[in-house]
Structure 1
Amino acid sequence: MALVAASAVVLGAAASPLAFADDLKDKQRKIDRQVEAAHDDLNESSAALRKATIRLRNAKAELAAARGTLASTRQRLAAAKARDVEMQAKLVEAEEKLDLARAELQQGREDVRRQRAAVDKMFATQYEQFDPRLEGFAALLKAEDLADVGIVQEATRSALIEQDGVLSEFRETAEMLAIRKDEVTTMRDAVETQRQAAAANLVRVTKLEKRALAQTRTVTLMVSKRRAAAGDAQTLRQRDRKALVALEADQARIAKILRNRAAKHKGTPSNTGGYLNYPVNGYVTSPYGYRIHPIYGYRSLHNGVDFGAGCGTPMYAAADGTVLSRYYQDAWGNRLVIDNGGARGVGLATIYNHASKYVVSPGQRVKRGQLVGYVGTTGWSTGCHLHFIVMANGTAVDPMKWF
């Protein structure tokens, strides 16, 4: 690609803004593609500034990705902590229910023991009367756990027991005791389930906290890296701006010379067709026109056409003319200016930039199609190409309209 006209150096189309998708990996892939594309955008600045700008863009991309990852972790951590609060509340509730159930169970056992004494007393009185229906029940009363509903039901088959209010109450109390024992078991299982779930969630919270801490440190490092890269880019940008001042002076000098010479050629075309030949066997990689400078941000003119071709590819005179100047300039690299005389009523000149070398010298006459040099990548250039400029009366015009 080529340099701008007198006002500035053009670096190509503006870089697209970072467009993050929701998925972090997808974000990073997009960032990587944009950073890679930035190399093309920056080909018309010094190599040092290009590298510094790429480092800055990489640092910004890395920081954006790191911040996105940290934000995601923090969201998950907040959700896990909220879940922990909820689970702790449920655990407390379950434990309170268990405590209540245990208290009721203990009360039930005391009620059974109290009523057992009443039944024993009643049984002793009836047994003294020698009722044979109570012989089996006597053994059952000696059982360790009268809360067993089945035992109570077996014992209460005696018509005498069924008719007695004390035994009826004893049976109901024993049945309730059995129910309370089941409730205690259920509550104990519920508490255990809540404890296990809370413990597992606490593990998640701990891991997420450690992850968030590590990612926070990463973000801090990325911020420092971005600041350092921004400082380097700013320093080199200022240096390049100074080079642009020199470039503008060079442009003005060449334009003045060509305007003066054009005044002599105006209206006296040196070539009957008035058209130019293509200067190199290559394809257009960047056309003539205005665009936004990707580093400086202003609108500037890409004042020629870039032809992509390998280094060492021959370059030819686009028309008959006289070599006006051959020199090296920091931005343009090796530069050749040919005065092509009058064409289409204007003074025409052609300029070849970034060559590896030229084989013609100032003052030498050249013919259309004559070898003048070889494609290179000198000056502010990222790859082998020819930046071809056409000047009409000292002003850059679109070369494509002259072929």
Structure 2
Amino acid sequence: MDRPSPRTAASRSDSSGRRRVSRTLAILCTLAVAAGPAAPLAHADNLHDKKKKVQASIKSVSNDFDDASTALVKATHRLDAARASLAVAQQQLAATQGELTAAQVLDAQMQAKLAAAEAALAQAEQDVTNGEAAVKQQRADIGRLAAADFQYGDPSLMGLSVMLNSQNPEDLTTQMNTVDNLMSRESNMLDRLKATQALLVVQKEKVAKAKADVAEQRRLAAANLVRRQQLEQQAAANQAAVAQQVAARAQAAAAARQIRRHDLLVLQQLKKREARIQKAILAKAAHDKGGYAGDTGGFLYRPVPGAVTSPFGWRRHPIYGYWGLHDGVDFSAPCGEPMHAGASGTVISEYYSSVWGNRLYLDAGRVNGKSMVLIYNHASAYKAHTGDQVGRGDVVAYAGTTGWSTGCHLHFTVMLDGTAVDPMQFF
């Protein structure tokens, strides 16, 4: 877990924690001399060598959420889920509206085609009506001509009679022209009748095709209408879903803001508590004498063997938004992993914090003239207690996920004269 900066972090602890820290402060203020200067050991403590090393699959701790309360982490996840659901709902609505627009355009096109097909059918039916009337008229004309032929004789026979009975060549020519005209008129009438009947057949075929076109256009238009109505219903449902997701997102955001405000209040309270503890540490350090002087590389014993999951340094908190110092190093460590004393010294405080969980302060004495205090956070249990003298590498507590933590790990802090520094420089 990330430890909040003194500038930006504060915490509220329970009543039991307050009683214990009060007792701790009394002890700190009455300590006149340190239990003794800390010095690096030449070799690992035999006790440490006998300890069983825990080998387990370690789940990485989320650096973004380590220093946030469980409630806010859950609220943030709910807000993220609500945002994702809203994005999906909006995409579905956009897709449906696009399909609906296409269906509406297609519907307009189909209505135009249907109107054209119906107009073509109406024209074709009118042409058939006109053709039938023309055939009827031409048949009537031919009927009258046939009746006249029956009454007056066939023109071809009339021509033969004229030739046989004519006495005057001029009369013969005139009479023969008349006969030819009659025969030509009769032939033309028959030809027109045949042509009109043939055209009528074509017109009736056009009518049949036009009727088929109209039926097909009506079928397509009806199918598209059903599709359009379905899309309209789907668009309405999607709009309702978007509205619901908007409301869900707003509720999740409001819940997250409320929890965030509460958490920041807790952090502010923790800041006051930390200030009191640091003041007591500095008061004690003023009386310390001696200590270690020299190269500090390798001075500290590594508290757990796990990898670093979050380094020391300044950064902006992804949930709370403040710019603060991650004042320690997060080490991956399974729950129950023994946590070792980085240096010989005295346990000067152990208490529970709603933010840090079970924490332990180990006074390592003076190092190059500055008071060094080691802080272990999120412990599942303690092995050493206030006032205990421990050696470098001794087990002081066990890793856990108490307080604001999303997984088992150790947040390890090194303070020199009350100021957090990067622990990695001492390994």
> TM-score of the superposition, structure 1-length normalised?
0.80
User: Corresponding residue for 2:263?
Assistant: 240
The Cα of 1:350 is off from its aligned counterpart by 0.9
Partners of 1:280 and 1:307 within 8 A in 2: yes
Query: CA 1:39 to 1:390, structure 2 compared with 1: closer, same or farther past 3 Å?
Result: closer
Residue 333 (structure 1) aligned to one of 357, 365, 374: 357
Q: Distance in 1 between matches of 2:333 and 2:102?
A: 58
Task: Among all aligned residue pairs of Structure 1 and Structure 2, give the percentage whose two residues are the same amino acid.
Answer: 44
Aligned residues: 353
Q: Is 1:211 equivalent to 2:234 in the alignment?
A: yes
1:121-147 CA-to-partner distances (Å, cap 9, x unmatched) read 22233345665999xxxxxxxxxxxxx
Specify every segment of 5 or more residues in structure 1 that has no aligned partner in the other structure, as ranges: 11-36, 135-158
Residue 63 (structure 1) aligned to one of 86, 90, 107: 86
The Cα of 1:256 is off from its aligned counterpart by 3.0
User: Corresponding residue for 2:273?
Assistant: 250
Partners of 2:2 and 2:63 within 8 A in 1: no
Q: Distance in 2 between matches of 1:108 and 1:81?
A: 40
User: Corresponding residue for 2:44?
Assistant: none
Partners of 1:355 and 1:378 within 8 A in 2: yes
User: Corresponding residue for 1:381?
Assistant: 405
Q: Is 1:189 equivalent to 2:212 in the alignment?
A: yes
Q: Distance in 2 between matches of 1:299 and 1:360?
A: 34
1:58-78 CA-to-partner distances (Å, cap 9, x unmatched) read 112111211211111111111
1:243-276 CA-to-partner distances (Å, cap 9, x unmatched) read 0101222332333344445555688417875621
Q: Is 1:176 equivalent to 2:195 in the alignment?
A: no
Poorly superposed stretches of 4+, deviation over 6 Å = none
Residue 98 (structure 1) aligned to one of 121, 141, 149: 121
Partners of 1:39 and 1:54 within 8 A in 2: no
**SS at 2:305's partner residue?**
coil
Amino acid corresponding to residue 250 of structure 1 in structure 2: R
Q: Which range moves more in the overlay, 315-324 or 255-264?
A: 255-264
Query: CA 1:272 to 1:195, structure 2 compared with 1: closer, same or farther past 3 Å?
Result: closer
User: Corresponding residue for 1:76?
Assistant: 99
User: Corresponding residue for 1:21?
Assistant: none
Partners of 2:90 and 2:242 within 8 A in 1: yes
User: Corresponding residue for 1:370?
Assistant: 394
Q: Distance in 2 between matches of 1:40 and 1:97?
A: 74
The Cα of 1:178 is off from its aligned counterpart by 2.1
Amino acid corresponding to residue 72 of structure 1 in structure 2: A
1:66-109 CA-to-partner distances (Å, cap 9, x unmatched) read 12111111111111112111211211121111111111111111
Q: Distance in 2 between matches of 1:120 and 1:255?
A: 130
Q: Is 1:199 equivalent to 2:222 in the alignment?
A: yes
**SS at 1:222's partner residue?**
helix
Q: Distance in 2 between matches of 1:124 and 1:40?
A: 113
> TM-score of the superposition, structure 2-length normalised?
0.76
How do 1:313-352 and structure 2 match up within 5 A?
313-352=337-376
Partners of 1:5 and 1:251 within 8 A in 2: no
The Cα of 1:318 is off from its aligned counterpart by 0.6
User: Corresponding residue for 1:309?
Assistant: 333
Residue 269 (structure 1) aligned to one of 247, 269, 292: 292
Query: CA 1:212 to 1:266, structure 2 compared with 1: closer, same or farther past 3 Å?
Result: farther
Amino acid corresponding to residue 214 of structure 1 in structure 2: A
Partners of 1:354 and 1:378 within 8 A in 2: yes
**SS at 2:358's partner residue?**
strand
Structure showing greater relative contact order (alpha-carbon pairs closer than 8 Å, 6 or more residues apart): 2
Specify every segment of 5 or more residues in structure 2 that has no aligned partner in the other structure, as ranges: 11-59, 158-181
Partners of 2:339 and 2:397 within 8 A in 1: yes
The Cα of 1:399 is off from its aligned counterpart by 1.2
Partners of 1:322 and 1:366 within 8 A in 2: yes
Q: Distance in 1 between matches of 2:118 and 2:425?
A: 88
The Cα of 1:344 is off from its aligned counterpart by 4.1
Query: CA 1:392 to 1:70, structure 2 compared with 1: closer, same or farther past 3 Å?
Result: same
Q: Distance in 1 between matches of 2:405 and 2:61?
A: 14
**SS at 2:315's partner residue?**
strand
How do 1:120-131 and structure 2 match up within 5 A?
120-128=143-151
**SS at 2:363's partner residue?**
strand
User: Corresponding residue for 1:298?
Assistant: 322
Partners of 1:262 and 1:394 within 8 A in 2: no
Q: Distance in 2 between matches of 1:8 and 1:132?
A: 126
Partners of 2:349 and 2:362 within 8 A in 1: yes
The Cα of 1:224 is off from its aligned counterpart by 2.2
Query: CA 1:238 to 1:55, structure 2 compared with 1: closer, same or farther past 3 Å?
Result: same
Q: Distance in 2 between matches of 1:266 and 1:215?
A: 74
Partners of 2:63 and 2:309 within 8 A in 1: no
The Cα of 1:278 is off from its aligned counterpart by 0.7
Q: Distance in 1 between matches of 2:119 and 2:9?
A: 77
Query: CA 1:271 to 1:167, structure 2 compared with 1: closer, same or farther past 3 Å?
Result: same
